[in-house]
Structure 1
């Protein structure tokens, strides 16, 4: 995982977030999947290897991580 500063295009917010602040994902990308806080679009973002992001989303979708 790397924290990167900068602007990018193609950000997507979950349809489940409604008007609430949420994380946004820049996808699809070749080398990494970028994730940021939608309240701070010019702020930093995290970059994950595509396989890591896919594994994380699968774990969330499958309920393996529980609820906070």
Structure 2
């Protein structure tokens, strides 16, 4: 479960997911979400929880792909 490949995949995947999410929500779809929001959100989001969520998703994906390729 905590092998070198899983931990490296989690670290790399977490960084990639975090950067792709930032590019998508701040650059590509920013005007869409500003126009279609029902309530105003705070401008300052907490990046710790967003990064933690990206790392958890990357860990789950690396474990799923590892188990899928071994069988």
Normalised by the length of structure 1, the TM-score is 0.31
Name the structure with the higher strand share. Answer: 1
1 or 2 for the larger relative contact order (CA 8 Å, sep ≥6)?
A: 2
Greater fraction helix: 2
